């Protein structure tokens, strides 16, 4: 894992937390492939991938199973729910695709 990896902001109550922004595109990578997807504000990463036809496995869509885990490479997301990932996982850049909404102008993720 490279330093300077993206972060996952799962807390809404931190004073001085960065303001929420929406990217215009989401960059998704898988192996050597790169997908640059138009982003519609409010969508989760899973919703963006599905709308664009990019395969991303999912199951519960409630933040409970971990099937949809992605890695945030750049930028940050906020998860609406998370019953799977530990604080260490989140610090390493892991995020639940079905619950993650980008909160930075740039967002880049690695798909499993």
List residues binding ligand FES (CB under 6 A).
58-61, 63-68, 84, 96, 98
Nearest one of 42, 39, 83, 40 to 60, comparing CA atoms? 83
- Shortest distance in whole angstroms from residue 16 CB to ligand FES: 29
With respect to ligand FES, which residue has the nearer C-beta, 25 or 81?
A: 81
With respect to ligand FES, which residue has the nearer C-beta, 68 or 103?
A: 68
- Shortest distance in whole angstroms from residue 19 CB to ligand FES: 26
Q: Are 99 and 58 a contacting pair, CB within 8 Å?
A: no
- Shortest distance in whole angstroms from residue 58 CB to ligand FES: 4
User: In this structure, are strands 7-8 and 76-79 parallel, antiparallel, or unpaired?
Assistant: parallel
Nearest one of 105, 107, 72, 64 to 89, comparing CA atoms? 72
């Amino acid at each position: 894992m490279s330093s300077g990896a993206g972060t996952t902001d799962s807390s809404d109550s931190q004073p001085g937390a960065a303001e929420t922004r929406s990217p215009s595109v989401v960059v998704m990578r898988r192996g050597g492939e790169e997908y640059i997807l138009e982003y519609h504000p409010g969508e989760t990463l899973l919703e963006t991938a599905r709308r664009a036809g990019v395969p991303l496995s999912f199951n519960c869509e409630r933040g409970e199973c971990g099937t949809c885990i992605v890695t945030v490479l750049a930028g940050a997301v906020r998860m609406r729910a998370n019953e799977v990932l530990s604080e260490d996982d989140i610090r390493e850049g892991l995020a639940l695709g079905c619950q993650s909404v980008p909160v930075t102008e740039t967002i880049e993720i690695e798909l499993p």
